[in-house]
Amino acid sequence: MKLDVKALALSLGMLWGASLIIMGIIAMIAPDYADNFVKAVGSKYPGYAPTIPGSIIGGICGFFDAGIGGLILGWLYNKLAK
């Protein structure tokens, strides 16, 4: 069975990007709950912060990061599943 590499990349990118946006907004509203997560991920994604613009920047960076990871994962799976 082959994976659809583009669909995997798009779905992983959308999931991780949306997760980062949601966690950034939660950290803005309730800093005790998600602030450490945002700081840890913000060390990898420059501009990611518990603000609306920072959450959007993190979501965009996360979308591309997970999308590229999904491309690599799907390609590798298809190569090894032969």
First-to-last alpha carbon distance for the chain, in angstroms, is: 9
For 27-59, the pLDDT digits (tens) are 999 988 888 999 999 999 999 999 999 999 999
State the pLDDT at residue 82.
Answer: 80
The CA-CA-CA angle for residues 32, 56, 4, to 5°, reads 110
Mean pLDDT on 54-79: 96
d(CA 79, CA 30): 44
